[in-house]
Amino acid sequence: MNLFATVLTYAAPSANYRGESAENRAVIQKITKGRFEYPIISPEAIRNALRETLRALGQPCNRTRLHDEDQLAVRFEDYPDADKYADDFFMGWLVAASEADRRKIFAELKSRNRDPQMFTFKRDSILRMNMAVALEPYRHDSVFTQSPKDATAKDIKSHVNVENSQLLHRETSYTAYQYPFALNLEECKAKPAWTKTLLNAVGQLNSVAGNHARSYFEMAPASIVVRLTPRLVAGYGSYGFTIKEERHAFPEVVDGIIAGDYPGNEFHLGGKLVKDMDEKTKKDLEAKGVILDRNPQRLLDALAAKLFS
């Protein structure tokens, strides 16, 4: 059995998903779709936030992001271990090691009473994700802010901040983002408690990318579409959310279920998508066996309990 899902966030101002800086201009990462550019968030950023959320929810994680370094940095507690660490179990790893390095690692594992024959230098991710893409194109909005002059007395200065006031230029977007993820539930059966927590973490995902001092943007679902199926593909466009007049819609799935294109009993729909439906559509979907819930977090918790009771 496989789980396929698409999450849609709430819309909010955002300036923190930046890939580069040009002088004092912070540039948002974008992708071209059709004739327009759309802001994006990398799956690596989402996965990193999920690691931190799993840790915050009490699950053991191997990798920790270090924030007070002169470059992007992480620290590992130990060699990868899918039985010991939830993030290793779901997200896999790759240990780039030469033949000499491999011998050293095997010796180290033996000294820690771990069987080297059970260790692998790479493991595919059970959690499959793709990048988050904005619903609205980037419209060349920018925000200018000014940092203050640093007038700290010279004899007590121990930092290297620029003394003069600086004009900061940030590309900004007001949009919601949607992103798909998938899980092989047969593989997840080995760690049911971790899988329940992972789904719970998706339901309250936050702190996905940098610049949090200036920009707060939640990646938790405003709406979510989930399909549980023995098939190996979702069978519909995984970036199918649209918004018209502030109303959430996923027409390919909703209309397709009603028309008989998809088995309704495989689908769970939650959040604003359900709140925005008219009563006739709700009744038609429920008649087809679709599970509807106005609260996406409650839907994910109920789904987790159903799958791993």
Provide the β-strand partners of residue 27: 20
Whether residue 8 is contained in a domain is answered as yes
Whether residue 72 is contained in a domain is answered as yes
Structure tokens at 76: 């590992």
pTM of the predicted model, to two decimals? 0.89
Per-residue confidence band for 288, with pLDDT thresholds at 50, 70 and 90: very high
Q: How does DSSP classify residue 109?
A: H
Domain that holds residue 274: 2-77+126-149+164-307
Whether residue 96 is contained in a domain is answered as no
User: Is pLDDT at 161 greater than 80 in this prediction?
Assistant: no
Number of structural domains in the chain: 1
SS (H, E, C) 20-35: EEECCEEEECEEEECC
Find the mean pLDDT for residues 120-143.
92
Q: What pLDDT score does 226 carry?
A: 98
Q: What pLDDT score does 283 carry?
A: 97
Average pLDDT along the chain:
89
Whether residue 108 is contained in a domain is answered as no
Whether residue 105 is contained in a domain is answered as no
Whether residue 298 is contained in a domain is answered as yes
Q: What pLDDT score does 303 carry?
A: 95
Find the mean pLDDT for residues 244-258.
94
Whether residue 159 is contained in a domain is answered as no
Whether residue 97 is contained in a domain is answered as no
Per-residue confidence band for 69, with pLDDT thresholds at 50, 70 and 90: confident
Closest-CA residue to 81 (of 52, 110, 121, 43): 121
